[in-house]
Homo-oligomer: A and B are copies of this chain.
């Protein structure tokens, strides 16, 4: 049982899977590698937004802090994910913070280098455009899920996205192979820790989810889908 949990989850898919092998190689050729320790920041809001980041290994969260000290987690990126901004303005700055939450190895792409590459390789440009479209749609659907179905809907949507990102099938159950605190979940849906705790309690009591070695196990995915009116969108889009 425990050893099953340690294995790489079958469904773990990186957003860079949009790219063909060749395109990803081209991108890798213009990266320079850096290492970042957990707790550091890749960028802060207000910093110039002129780089893309390829997470070779590790984890980075994109967050926003409010004046009252609350934190909102917009995205969680993992090994193999590509992220960052490519904006039309010279003086463009980030609106969010990028917090390194696990020791990471990161490939950095300068906007100028990327532009040259896209200019030269039409096929890469087309793939890149599709990757951007996918990322945008992920934001839009998350936006919808978090705005339209109350806090329980937001939580259920987030649990589904966690299944799509970290889920490992285990019979009819799905183990979310990623430890998450109630506070983390709360920051992902803009709720309080207490609310998340109560909602998770409700779901456990209704036998929708369970805990196994502190991992969340989803036992009734259709129930979660029903709460947030999930339309069963592609796994690659419906992620954290």
The interface of chain A, by Cβ under 8 A from chain B, is: 18, 45-46, 64, 66-67, 70, 72, 74, 85-89, 92, 95-96, 115, 118-120, 122-123, 125-137, 139-144, 146-149, 190, 229, 231, 233-234, 236
A222 to B229, CA, bound (A): 39
Are A87 and B130 within 8 A (Cβ)? Answer: yes
26 contacts between A and B (CB under 8 A): A74-B143, A74-B144, A86-B129, A86-B130, A87-B134, A88-B127, A88-B131, A88-B236, A89-B234, A89-B236, A92-B234, A95-B137, A95-B140, A95-B141, A95-B233, A96-B144, A115-B126, A118-B129, A119-B123, A125-B126, A128-B129, A132-B132, A136-B136, A136-B139, A139-B139, A142-B143
Nearest Cβ on chain B to A21's Cβ, whole angstroms: 15
Of listed A45, A72, A126, A231, residue having the most chain B CB within 10 A: A126
Contact B118 A149 (CB under 8 A): no
A72 to B229, CA, bound (A): 14
Q: When A18-B88, A146-B147 are in contact, do A125 and B135 touch as well, CB less than 8 Å?
A: no
Do residues B136 and A132 form an inter-chain contact, with CB atoms below 8 A?
yes
Q: A47 → chain B, closest Cβ, in Å? A: 13
Contact B118 A122 (CB under 8 A): yes
Closest Cβ neighbor of A128 among chain B residues: B129
